[in-house]
């Protein structure tokens, strides 16, 4: 009797189900992993009793490390107690505890204590690999909010972002929405207080709130609702700057609302230069009645709007105005080379620092050749 493709597929599904259950961090999944590791330790013990030189005390360190990587604290405590019991028993059966054996046993005991201490300090309650999985899923959700839908006609939108110190999370994020008629496009570029991992949880929560507001409210009303959301959190450092643009894709008319954000830049194809937009406002999460001055305009063929966060234009050695003038120069060079890829060309020239950096470009193309990067 032999196993066929069906049995192989069933085994594969069984393994995937068990891995998926472990990845979920569920109690059932943890019990299965605990049982598997305890059986493995028991097998090691049997080999140690038969021939201690094949599986000495140091071999049990491997099981402790695997347990630390795969188990939550309580299952790990059970597993370490089981491993310590069998490891010591195997050593005692092999011979008296004298000399080097005592030193090895002391080191083993210290390793057990350190592993348990490290596991108890996990704030998420999950072992490191599972915590990494959760963080990766949160990162994916935040990035999904910033996915720009395909645009009809001669419109092009792209963004480029770099997190502080190269970590995978950033306080800068983008929310995009295109209505069902594919007429109105809305984009919100946000910079929450903090940077990198410290700002990641705030950014994710705020992005979820904005995702439910965009498309349902007018620009000024949306900013007011976002402001109320941050104020209700009652946190000492829960504020953000944001810029919101609503664009009519049929005629190019747009409205910009800015809340404490660096001023947007408009590219005039006829003039061949960037002009500073006049939309201004107070940052969100500071005052119950923030002042907001909206701006309006029309994008013609070849025109563009550029939005960015303060990490792009500010540094310890230069102020905002100097940074904006510098950005106007490099953005002019980048867009002349073509709209596609221009944000990457811009952000590559930004000096890496200790703040998140994001650039967003909205362009009305003259023709297909204008899009070439």
Choice among 95-104, 212-221, 321-330, 361-370 with the minimum mean pLDDT: 361-370
Burial letters 178-200, b for 16+ CB under 10 A, else e: beeeeebbbbbbbbbbbbbbbbb
pLDDT attached to residue 3: 52
The domain boundary residue, chosen from 69, 100, 126: 126
Question: 209 and 181 share a domain?
Answer: yes
In this prediction, residue 372 has a pLDDT band, given cuts at 50, 70 and 90, of: very low
137 found inside a domain:
no
Number of domains into which the chain is organized: 2
Residues 196 and 294 reside in one and the same domain: yes
In a domain, 131, yes or no: no
Q: Is residue 205 part of a domain?
A: yes
User: What pLDDT, in 10s, does the model give residues 202-250?
Assistant: 776 777 788 878 888 888 888 989 999 888 877 666 788 999 999 999 9
Quick: pLDDT tens for 138-174.
566 655 656 788 887 789 999 888 876 555 555 678 8
Q: Is residue 135 part of a domain?
A: no
Do 262 and 180 reside in the same domain of the chain? yes
| In a shared domain, residues 42 and 150 | no
Task: Note whether 117 and 149 are same-domain residues.
Answer: no
In the listed set 100, 126, 152, which residue is the last one of a domain according to the structure?
A: 126
13 with 115, same domain?
A: yes
The residue ranking higher by pLDDT, 207 or 309, is: 309
Residue 316 domain flag? yes
Q: Are residues 210 and 251 in the same domain?
A: yes
Domain extent, residue 190, equals 143-371
Query: Does 105 lie in the same domain as 152?
Result: no
Quote the pLDDT of residue 143.
Answer: 59
Model pLDDT for residues 255-273, shown as the tens digit of each residue: 999 999 999 999 988 877 8
Does residue 132 lie in a domain region? no
155 and 58, same structural domain?
A: no
Residue 105 lies in a domain: yes
| Residue where a domain terminates, one of 126, 151, 167 | 126
Q: Tell whether 138 is covered by a domain.
A: no
We report the CATH number of the domain holding residue 155 as 3.60.40.10
Q: Are residues 243 and 122 in the same domain?
A: no
Q: Which of 282, 262, 269, 256 is CA-nearest to residue 325?
A: 262
The pLDDT tens digits for 311-356 are 888 876 677 888 899 999 999 888 888 888 888 888 888 876 667 7
pTM summary value: 0.67
Based on the fold, state whether residues 96 and 57 are members of the same structural domain: yes
- Same domain? For 112 and 190 the reply is no
């Amino acid at each position: 009797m032999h196993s066929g493709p069906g049995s192989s597929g069933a085994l594969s599904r069984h393994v995937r189900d068990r891995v998926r259950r472990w990845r979920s961090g569920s109690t059932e999944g943890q019990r299965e992993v605990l049982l598997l590791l305890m059986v493995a330790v028991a097998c090691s013990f049997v080999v140690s009793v038969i021939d201690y030189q094949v599986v000495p005390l140091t071999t049990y360190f491997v099981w402790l490390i695997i347990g630390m990587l795969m188990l939550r604290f309580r299952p790990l405590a059970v597993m370490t107690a089981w491993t310590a019991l069998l490891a010591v028993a195997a050593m005692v059966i092999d011979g008296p505890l004298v000399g080097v054996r005592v030193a090895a046993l002391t080191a083993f005991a210290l390793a057990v204590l350190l592993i348990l201490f490290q596991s108890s300090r996990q704030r998420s309650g999950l072992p490191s690999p599972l915590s990494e999985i959760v963080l990766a899923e949160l990162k994916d959700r935040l990035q999904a909010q910033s996915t720009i839908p395909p645009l009809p006609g001669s419109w092009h939108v792209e963004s480029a972002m770099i997190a502080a110190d190269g970590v995978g999370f950033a306080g800068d994020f983008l929310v995009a929405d295109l209505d069902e008629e594919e007429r109105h496009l809305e984009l919100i570029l946000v910079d929450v207080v903090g940077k990198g991992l410290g700002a990641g949880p705030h950014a994710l929560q705020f992005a979820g709130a904005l995702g439910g507001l965009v498309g349902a409210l007018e620009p000024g009303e949306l900013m007011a609702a976002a402001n109320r959301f941050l104020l209700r959190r009652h946190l000492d450092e829960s504020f953000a700057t944001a810029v919101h643009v609503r664009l009519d894709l049929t005629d190019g008319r747009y409205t910009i609302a800015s809340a404490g954000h660096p001023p947007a830049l408009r590219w005039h194809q006829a003039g061949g230069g960037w002009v500073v937009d006049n939309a201004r406002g107070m940052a969100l999460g500071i005052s119950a009645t923030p002042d907001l001055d909206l701006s309006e305009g029309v994008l013609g063929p070849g025109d563009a709007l550029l939005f960015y966060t303060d990490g792009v234009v500010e540094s310890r050695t230069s102020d905002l105005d100097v940074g904006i003038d510098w950005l106007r120069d490099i953005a002019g060079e980048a867009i002349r080379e073509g709209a596609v890829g221009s944000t990457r060309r811009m952000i590559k020239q930004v000096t890496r620092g200790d703040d998140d950096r994001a650039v967003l470009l909205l362009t009305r193309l003259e023709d297909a050749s204008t899009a070439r990067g």
